[in-house]
Amino acid sequence: MNTKLSEAAAKAIQAIAFNLTLLSLGLSSSPAHAIPANEPPQQEDSLDCFSDLQGAISNTPQVINLGQTATLRWNVTVPSSCTGKGVKLYVNNQLVSSTGSQNIQPSADTSYRLRATLPAVHGGGERTLATSAIKVNLPPTDPNLSFCPSSIYWDADRDGINDSKEDCLLNHYAPVLYMPFDYDWIKPANVDWYLARTTLRFHHNNCSDDEVLALGAVTQSSLINQAHSPKEGFWDGCDHKNWVIQSTYDRFFDEDQHFFLQAPNDATHRGSSNPTQWKVYGHVYKNSIGGLNLQYWFFYPYNDNVASFNHEGDWESIIVRLNGAYTVNGVYFCGHGDCSTYRSANNISWFDNTHPIGWVADGSHATYPSELACDLAPVEEEGEPLLNCQTKDAYRWFTWANGKLGRSGYQGGGVVNVGEKNFPLNGQLFIRYYSRWGELGETSVTSGPRTPSFQSNWKLDAQ
């Protein structure tokens, strides 16, 4: 017999016997570093980490109109079992911290998923912790707006109308105005031009006025950020009271205590000789016939009417009334705040089919539907009969951008959409100023008018 084979067999028998003995004692001869293949501790840890993660996500509000903003918030509690595991958190595909928020402005219904991931070295994997969804109300399709380019819905002035549609309509239907420059020494201007040439003062009845902002200090921003104390009566010494009136005060107008703008001389009263500085201020709102009203405001630094019926600061307007298909139903022609003159679309003169023509009266700057209607206005209202609106093509004011196109007349500075009183557009903060654009006179017709947004016809024929 081979001696080496006998020795090997003997050692094998001894090893078997030894293992049987260990098994009988409940022990194992496996090496101390061995890990059962089907129960790796790393995988167990990963499972514990994922199962212990707690997260929430929500958006406020849950329903918005297209163009509005909502706030998305999330919070994740990361347990100790995830320490050192390289857990990463995502909202959809955006890497985020465990707690956070952000403003969102989706253009359609959108879902948001808060999820966690583990790297492969720790077993890998992904788990959805929470979900949230937001509904976006889309505006109805606009009929007959082939002349307006499509755009993303945006409603910064919060009036329920797409701002880009407002801009398009304001330009599409902007008026041509025949100006009375044979007689009128006053030219139009714009708000910023005028403010730079005026002071802001405060009127105290039976007491001296106070200067609030000096010449050169009045801007749209400073205009709406003033506060001033009224004074006691003359017999009480005209001392200032211990409370203030804000320049954006919106409750009632006190004829005895209020702000007003004052131009220092006729150099300002004359207006601007540069027609590119003649701006029109547009305002769009829903009307009573299911369409929109397009309001156009024109500013003149002075009203030089018949006799002594004059005042500083002159706001005049017309209103183009659109039906639900956005075609013209008619136009309101206004003068001195009175918009009672209304003409249907077929009783209006038109330029290039979509631009109504108005005739501006000498001195008062009221707008009329025809030269004859202006010339026949009462003498006490407009002055010289048959000469109130004498004009010619060379005096036409093309109010919208690029409207003149080489034709006879003046190219103005375009139409600026001012938005709504509490949500101005295009930096037109002046519409929040509640008070007068000229000094107080003896009567309402000799006093500077208030800001258009505080006049009675600001929302004429509104829905």
Q: With pLDDT > 70 as the criterion, what percentage of the chain qualifies?
A: 85
User: Which residue ranges make up each domain of the chain?
Assistant: 41-137, 141-463
pLDDT, position 84: 87
Instruction: Express each pLDDT in 367-382 by its tens digit.
Output: 999 998 888 876 545 5
Q: Does the pLDDT value for residue 2 go beyond 70? A: no
Please give the residue that has the higher pLDDT: either 49 or 189: 189
Q: Does the pLDDT value for residue 173 go beyond 90? A: yes
Q: Does the pLDDT value for residue 29 go beyond 50? A: no
Q: Does the pLDDT value for residue 399 go beyond 90? A: yes
* Range list of β-strands (E), 41-162: 54-60, 63-65, 70-77, 88-91, 94-96, 99-104, 110-118, 125-137
The mean-pLDDT minimum among 42-46, 178-182, 302-306 falls in: 42-46
Beta bridge partners of 319: 295, 332
pLDDT, position 208: 93
Query: How many Cβ atoms from other residues are within 10 Å of residue 245's Cβ?
Result: 20
* Range list of β-strands (E), 85-151: 88-91, 94-96, 99-104, 110-118, 125-137
Average pLDDT of the segment spanning 168-197: 96
pLDDT, position 32: 39
Q: Which two tokens stand for residue 412?
A: 């103005």
Instruction: Express each pLDDT in 409-433 by its tens digit.
Output: 999 999 999 999 999 999 999 999 9
pLDDT, position 164: 92
| Distance (Å) of CA 457 to CA 63, 146, 225, 419 | 34, 30, 25, 15
Give burial (CB, 10 Å; 0-12/13-18/19+) of 459. Answer: middle
Q: Which one, of 193, 213, 344, lies nearest residue 279 by Cα? A: 193
Average pLDDT of the segment spanning 1-11: 50
Residue 18 binned pLDDT confidence (cut-offs 50, 70, 90) = very low
Average pLDDT of the segment spanning 80-99: 93
Q: Does the pLDDT value for residue 17 go beyond 70? A: no
Instruction: Express each pLDDT in 213-227 by its tens digit.
Output: 999 999 999 999 999
Q: What are phi and psi of 258, to 5 degrees?
A: -165, 165
Q: Does the pLDDT value for residue 210 go beyond 90? A: yes
Q: Does the pLDDT value for residue 139 go beyond 60? A: yes
Determine the CATH number of domain 41-137. 2.60.40.10
The mean-pLDDT minimum among 143-147, 239-243, 415-419, 435-439 falls in: 143-147
Q: Which two tokens stand for residue 6?
A: 């006998």
Residue 4 binned pLDDT confidence (cut-offs 50, 70, 90) = very low
Instruction: Express each pLDDT in 435-459 by its tens digit.
Output: 999 998 887 778 999 999 999 999 9
Instruction: Express each pLDDT in 315-355 by its tens digit.
Output: 999 999 999 999 999 999 999 899 999 999 999 999 999 99
Give dist(CA 292, CA 286) in Å, integer: 4
